[in-house]
Structure 1
Amino acid sequence: MQVFLHLGLGFVLLAAQCTPGAAVPSSQCQRQCGTVEIPYPFGIDPNCSLAEGFDLSCEVQDGISRPFNGDFEVLSISLIQGTMRVLNYIVAHCYNTSTERMEFMGRFNGYASRPSSPYRLSDVQNRFTVIGCNALYLIADSNGKGYQGMGVSTCRNFSDLVDGSCSGIGCSQTMIPKMMYNYDLSSSSSYNTSQIWEFNRCSYAVLMEAASFKFSTLYVSTTKFNDTNDGRVPMVLDWAIRDQKCDVAAQNKTGTYACLSRNSVCVDSINDNGYMCNCSQGYKGNPYLPDGCRDVDECIDNPCPLGGVCHNTIGGYRCSCRAGRKLESNVCNLDIGLIIGVTMGLFALMVIIMIIVFWGQMIIQMRKLNKVRQDYFHQNGDLLLFDRMKSEKGLAFTVFSEAELKKSTDNFDNSRILGKGGHGTVYKGIIKNNMPVAIKRCALVDERHKKEFGQEMLILSQINHKNIVKLLGCCLEVEVPILVYEFVPNGTLFELIHGKNQALQISFSTLLRIAHEAADGLSFLHSYASPPIIHGDVKTSNILLDENYMAKVSDFGASILAPSDEEQFVTLVKGTCGYLDPEYMQTCHLTEKSDVYSFGVILLEILTGQLPLKLEGSEKQRSLSLIFLSAMKENDLDAVLVSHVKGQESMELLRGLADLAKSCLDMCGDNRPSMKEVADELNRLRRLSMHPWARFHVQTDAETLLVGESTDGYQKELSGYPMGKSENQPINQTSSYFAR
């Protein structure tokens, strides 16, 4: 069994609390002890240090002044590295030939401190060093992290030893961990040099600075290692302002923050919690004092290349070359440019003339382009529009520039496309105040429509109805005007009716409410102006749904005013198959009753859940209108109703809605009801569905709606039918400003 002899803790380093104060030391404080400089935050005199833990003493020994930190003589202090070099005591364990026993020589001590002390044993610069041919020592941090380490050094013959080699034969060195603030040593009593004392009477152990040690075989054969400096060797301590890192300490700059110089930086300690202060790059001095970091005059050593001139700057320097030379790759070379400058003068003059001519041509072309834009502006009715806008107070209508709309759509990038149709393409744009809008680039129109465009835009811009998509403005400086609408995010009525699992997601009362709101919007459109504004392409995909799933009729921005003469009997509206008024197809005369017919088809979609037009089957089976009218004629309404509708509402309500749809689909436009009458009847039917005597409970309109996917196959088959969100579109919101 091996028994370790505990050497104990001999001398205790001064280790008081190191929390700094805000006071600045007097200029009369002693800053030198012997040959060692004592920089602040350390001090010798009272009130000359940052805190008690930084107090040192200056003692006279053998007629020489020496600074001490407790019992350890201080060799040097580094502010930049945050280190202090002290002399540590060597433990010697020697064989006494008289007593034939191993005995300790000199002072048996380790090193002791407290967690609040500024000091930690440097794990980077120190090594636990053991010397001898039969030595076993244990180093322990019993009051700290509980670290224990062992140093073993053995040898059989003196010839085995090699100068400068400390790898276990006669000498060993062991690293220590971080955050150690004390240690003590123990030695095994069973290890002795009684058998080899002729050339190795003593063994030694000490924690010391690795850089200051080089093994010599004389350390084993003599007592030379223990004879210098009274048995002491250098050891390195890491010091810092403890308990706080920089990010916490810097927040208390008016209190205990130690980095007082304006040109200083805080550096976290690499050995335990705490921080140090350094001067910023280009400065040197004491960062713990106000204005302690001063600018370094780098030009004293002239770091510039041969022939260069150094100019000191605050925190740095710059180099320049004498006249006729220039700095290239840190070398002052002959300035070739200056030499050939005169020769190139004529060439430079010619280049300048060419640039002037080029820019002159550019200006001329830009003026021509602006004139073309102004011509378009006049053609598109700008004077009429501006005159009326000045006379109408509070008219919320904006005339945008082409540059504004290009910027808001990333130059009409394809990723911004919301939909395409026969009358143009709709893009999502973001205008000022991060407001989303729908921007519609119309397809080419004829000259007659260009002349009337200003009047139509003026009328449409003043339409303010909750169930009509608001026209916010337009751009007139392009050949074909660009329209700007409000952005409506929640898809279309088409997607609600024909999406996947629609029977489980949409209540009939919700569809009835949306139809009523759409009818109100169309009724307002027909009655607002004289002559009326005709939509011309009423369909479920042109009924948008806002964030509350309120209906908003869209795509009327390029609708026409009701024709007043034969010249206007021109097909300006392409419409959509399945919704087109048969009377319009025969007469080419578009009226408000044409919108009524198209709305009747929407009512059929709500009742039947079917598409207005199928691409297979017989002629009668393709048209939803013909299928419905045939069922009504045979008094077989139940055959065409969708199953979940029959389960939600009374037949009285459904038959009333079917009768309304039938009247809207009358082949003769004069026999059809007006849009206002349609809206009033839908309002009556809604009240009927919510009457307490009704047989079926009607869900409220505030229910949560989950919009299904649109039926893209049907959309893609029809020329001019508005497309939903493209498969390649990255835009998340499915808004449906579909161009006609």
Structure 2
Amino acid sequence: MMIPQFTFHIIILIIISLISPPLTYAQAEYEFIAQRDCASTCGTISIPFPFGMNEPHCYAHKWFEVECKLDNTSHIEKPYLKSLNLEVTLFDVNSALVEIMNPIYHSNCKKNNNNNNNKTVVINLKDSPFIYSQQYNTFLAVGCNNLAFLQSNGTTVGGCVSICEDNNNNFNLESRSCNGRYCCETSLPMHLAEYNATLQGLRKESSDHDECSYALIASDFWFSFDWSFMTDSEIEKMNNLKNMEYAPGILEWEILNEMFVNSTFQIPSDSVCYDSKRTSLTNRTTGRRCDCPSGYNGNPYVLGGCTVIQGFFNKNNRSKKWVIVGVSSSLGSIGFLIGLWLLHKDVKKRMIKKRKEKFFKRNGGLLLQKRMSSGEVNIDQTVLFTLKDLKKATDNFNKNRVLGKGGQGTVYKGMLVDGRIVAVKKFKVEGKVEEFINEFVILSQINNRNVVKLLGCCLETEIPLLVYEFIPNGNLFEYLHDRNEDIPMTWDMRLRIATEIAGALFYLHSIASQPIYHRDVKSTNILLDEKYRAKLADFGASRIISIEATHLTTVVQGTFGYLDPEYFHTSQFTEKSDVYSFGVVLAELLTGKKPITSVESGESQSLASYFVQCMEENRLFDIVDERVTKEGEKEHIVAGANLAYRCLEMNGRKRPTMKEVTLELEGIMRLNKKLNAQQNHEEIELAGIEESQPWDGYYASNSWPIVSSQTHSTNSEVTHILALK
């Protein structure tokens, strides 16, 4: 049975109007009631109890005390919540809401004389009966090429991206949309009690000619966020935000439990009250809310405040009503059930679509689309996964599937329907949008066997997800410092891993279509595959550099122990900063020591500085790992140590390039293989039938190698490498 589309929409409108009447700000049909002998208005605003003015018995608690102030501009009295010093434009006791004037955060508004640029007004609702309404507010940001972040208690809890190609942040009168072009919006978190907003430009360097940008929490009743029906006056209102300091926002409230302690305030017995959790962060009861009984309306917080709705209890009217309802229900029950089923299906589909779109925008999908259209992202090499696929792959992100946790998020092990094992990275959503997009864009362009491969991403979730190839043997830091005697870290393995990572960085710096600076080279970001080959990972902090650029000026970030001192002092990151970090990794491989260690005095010691000190004092073998000393040729170890020493030069210009580092390490590896082959040949001649069984293609001896005439020629090649220092 099919229902015509027009009839179906009529049914939807009727059902929605019955089960979910819209909340409006029209004054209720009852008279607002204050306590006896108490003022009930301030200017044009009615003030219902539990709010009140002047005398303590006129309000339920000091949090609900209202102060009436004369506005110097309009010469009209306006009500303020005295404890919070917030102007109130409407009180609603039925819905337990108040509309306040909320501050607007401005950035780069140098031409605006009515606002203090970057003015910060902190409103703290903690311990109060008020919170920002998640249902009736929206976080809105307007401006060109901005990342807008909503922060609470030092943590980013929301954000969105707005871009515009013409750098004109006047709202587009034709598009009538706020989906990331000129402006963006996102929902508020639950139980938001205090916040501030920050605006961060997407450009590398700000310009004096940049237009004003601003962010705010705005009431859905003051400003329509149904963009397809936005009126011209609302568009003009958005363009006028730059000249405003405050905009309406909605607070929800409740009567806190502690307000009944040692207080004369009592809720009338004829009211219907129930437990409330509006201000709770732990899902426990924090207060009470009240309504009038069925058939009554008015103020449930005042004795006698609930009055009978005229005609509600008239028996004749009620009988006629029930006859009509009964007949209608009998005749239309089948059609109603079918319509209800179709409505549920349609509404659920719309909700899922809207939710996915909201998460797509919040997670930087619009910015990602822009980069895709500009050719920055290699779409052919990546896949957009669905949340359903990744939930199935990770057993609904089971904690037993966690591979590791870091500053950017959590990594889970999963298996796709085609049998591929993957690693799924769930980002820490708030504030990490740019890192997520950055890693996706960079990895989509890289094709190198020693860089972890990106398979795709998922943007339709609350938290953005990236999907990588699975690397089974953990990271280099764990393998190097948590010794595994079953598969030991031999000198051959260390030399090979160093060469592979050097080659990967050489590829990023010099071979990729545009130079890429990794900016966080460290042993925890070097993964080991099933054959213990090295894979460079974690590109969230990486940057693509124009071919003409020599450095990147940015806020200093990195990992203590690996951070280039020159970058730390100048804030200018160059390719030589990655070289320094690689030098620390190479020193780790040679010494087996952690980048930061505690000494007997209780202070922390940097491996880089200690390694340089030992080299300058000719005490290299006091710090080199015992296994390296036993297995490696002395000249090879010295060559590797000299290379690490040059990488750790304080002056970046004196450090070698990653190309030079790679060539030198490959030279040492060739000499090492030649020496191992010679040793194997001599052992076979001595043992006759004995054969060496090298592990994974690399031989590690347990004693110092035999030196022959051929070895001396090999050492002359090492001397040539050392001469490169």
Q: TM-score, normalised by structure 1?
A: 0.43
Structure number with the bigger relative contact order (C-alpha 8 A, sep ≥ 6) is: 1
Q: TM-score, normalised by structure 2?
A: 0.44
Give the structure with the larger helix fraction: 2
